[in-house]
Amino acid sequence: MSQDFDLIVIGGGSGGLAGAFRAAAHGARVALLEPAALGGTCVNAGCVPKKAMWLAAEVGRKLALAEPLGFDAKGSGLHWPTFIGHRQRYIGNIHESYRRRLDEAGIAVLPMRGTLRDANTVSCGDGVFLRTGRILLATGGRALRPPIPGAELGVTSDDFFSWVQPPGRVAVIGGGYIGVELAGVLQSLGSQVELLVRGKRLLAPFDEELSRVLAEDYRQAGIGIRFGCEATALERSGDRVRVVADGLDDPVFDQVLFATGRAPNTAGLGLERAGVALDERGHVAVDARHDTSVDGIHAVGDVTAGLQLTPVAIAAARRLMDRLFAGRDRPLDQGNIPSVVFSHPPLGMVGLTTEQAVERHGAEAVTVYRAGFRPMLNALADVPQRSLFKLVCVGPERRVAGVHLLGEAADEILQGFAVAVRMGATLDDLNDTVAIHPTSAEEVVLMQGN
């Protein structure tokens, strides 16, 4: 039994859905295979539920400021089951929206796993073979546990979203964006967090100076941070877990959460049968246009080695479908892509770090501008948490090559300035823009150097 489609999408996450919708909008006959919930990691165990928990944590942090400001506020903390009900209702609405849009677009949705039989044939879990001219691989990635003894005693970020109450004391292992985000959420919602970082700093891809300020903000919030601390094993200690690592005064925790990386979901897809090449880390190898080594097979999202960001997967999939089915060839420019860590406060960046700018343009061509300040609400409540904004400018015209923001609303502020960076704005352009006062955002257009 066979059916013919112009495009078969394997994976119903953000990239796969974006590709399916865009191809269908161009008139293609599309089938989408996804054995689990639509939306992939982002909707079900990533961006969306993470941001929901972050918002709850932010409300908790604001409530903690109420009494110092003069409010009669005696909060008792978050009732997790109530909030999780709201969170899952929100996610359920996203699922329903996807199902409605897929039906309206005429996309055939098969709730099953698909594997490649060859470059033009997909084998479905029910034994049906589907024939197609194009295949889009968008199977995403998965959270990893490190290869240490007792790793099964720890949990991953996926498991975090099944928790219905905060653990009393939790070790978060990993200093990347997932570890930093979940450490901040848990501490703000009532846990005592120890962040165990193998390296010497948090958030290696981001600006080092901002990451140091964030670490100090976290310490002020009560989070213990241990740099140069590598967990070599986990052991059972009654109904708790002991972390074997140097330098831990109290190594026993109620929960241990691994945030030590992710791996692409390529196993069992039949890639070897079709001849699809993988890179050295097991990602599907693609070129700048997201073509694989096999003609007619393409890949986007976390299954590839590109930036692991949902909007990147969506943009790449849409541009790919525009090329394949509408003849518009505009490969995604992966430079100057903004990204944000939802820490407390959030940290965002677009463009080059200072180090990258020096390497690319030379030290004599790079000028860095800074604005360090305490946001107004923190100053009113006498909270020590500080913000730091930086601009990295290059050349005699002082073109803005990088914007780095750590502070309240940095996630919202950055989007507009990312447009300015892509358009080649200079420091003079920012200085010529009238500030909105009093805001944190005005600090970006008021920087004059120091």
DSSP for 386-440?
-EEEEEEEETTTTEEEEEEEESTTHHHHHHHHHHHHHTT-BHHHHHTSPPPSS-S
Give the domain-ending residue among 228, 260, 292: 260
Instruction: Give every CB contact of residue 211 below 8 A, 6+ residues apart in sequence.
Output: 201, 202, 203, 347
State the CB neighbour count (10 A cutoff) for residue 116.
23
- Indicate whether 59 belongs to any domain: no
Please indicate, yes or no, whether residues 353 and 410 belong to a single structural domain of this protein.
Answer: yes
Rounded CA separation 380/446 (Å): 22
Please indicate, yes or no, whether residues 166 and 228 belong to a single structural domain of this protein.
Answer: yes
Please indicate, yes or no, whether residues 237 and 298 belong to a single structural domain of this protein.
Answer: no
- Indicate whether 10 belongs to any domain: yes
- Give the domain CATH number at 417: 3.30.390.30
Please indicate, yes or no, whether residues 276 and 183 belong to a single structural domain of this protein.
Answer: no
Total domains in the chain come to: 3
pLDDT value at residue 73: 78
The DSSP secondary-structure symbol of 188 reads H
What would the DSSP string read from start to end of 53-75?
HHHHHHHHHHHHHHHHHT-----
Rounded CA separation 246/226 (Å): 10
pLDDT in tens, the chain (450 residues): 456 999 999 999 999 999 999 999 999 999 999 999 999 999 999 999 999 999 999 999 999 999 999 998 776 789 999 999 999 999 999 999 999 999 999 999 999 999 999 999 999 999 899 999 999 999 999 999 999 999 999 999 999 999 999 999 999 999 999 999 999 999 999 999 999 999 999 999 999 999 999 999 999 999 999 999 999 999 999 999 999 999 898 999 999 999 999 999 999 999 999 999 999 999 999 999 999 999 999 999 999 998 999 999 999 999 999 999 999 999 999 899 999 999 999 999 999 999 999 999 999 999 999 999 999 999 999 999 999 999 999 999 999 999 999 999 999 999 999 999 999 999 999 999 999 999 999 999 999 864
Please indicate, yes or no, whether residues 223 and 272 belong to a single structural domain of this protein.
Answer: no
- Indicate whether 426 belongs to any domain: yes
Please indicate, yes or no, whether residues 43 and 117 belong to a single structural domain of this protein.
Answer: yes
Please indicate, yes or no, whether residues 252 and 156 belong to a single structural domain of this protein.
Answer: yes
pTM: 0.95
pLDDT value at residue 3: 66
β-pairing, 129-137 with 2-10?
A: parallel
Please indicate, yes or no, whether residues 182 and 134 belong to a single structural domain of this protein.
Answer: no
404 is catalytic: no
Please indicate, yes or no, whether residues 28 and 130 belong to a single structural domain of this protein.
Answer: yes
Distances in whole angstroms, Cα of residue 57 to Cα of each of 76, 186, 339: 13, 8, 20
pLDDT value at residue 449: 60
- Indicate whether 218 belongs to any domain: yes
Q: Can you give the residue range of the structural domain that contains 198?
A: 151-260
Rounded CA separation 82/75 (Å): 15
Closest Cα to residue 187, out of 87, 353, 56, 69?
A: 56
Please indicate, yes or no, whether residues 181 and 304 belong to a single structural domain of this protein.
Answer: no
- At residue 136's C-alpha, the angle toward residues 135 and 142, to 5°, is 135
Given a contact cutoff of 8 angstroms between Cβ atoms, the answer to whether 392 and 351 are in contact is: yes
Please indicate, yes or no, whether residues 157 and 253 belong to a single structural domain of this protein.
Answer: yes
- Give the domain CATH number at 244: 3.50.50.60
Please indicate, yes or no, whether residues 184 and 240 belong to a single structural domain of this protein.
Answer: yes
Give the domain-ending residue among 238, 260, 282: 260
pLDDT value at residue 2: 55
Active-site choice (283, 290, 298, 437): 437
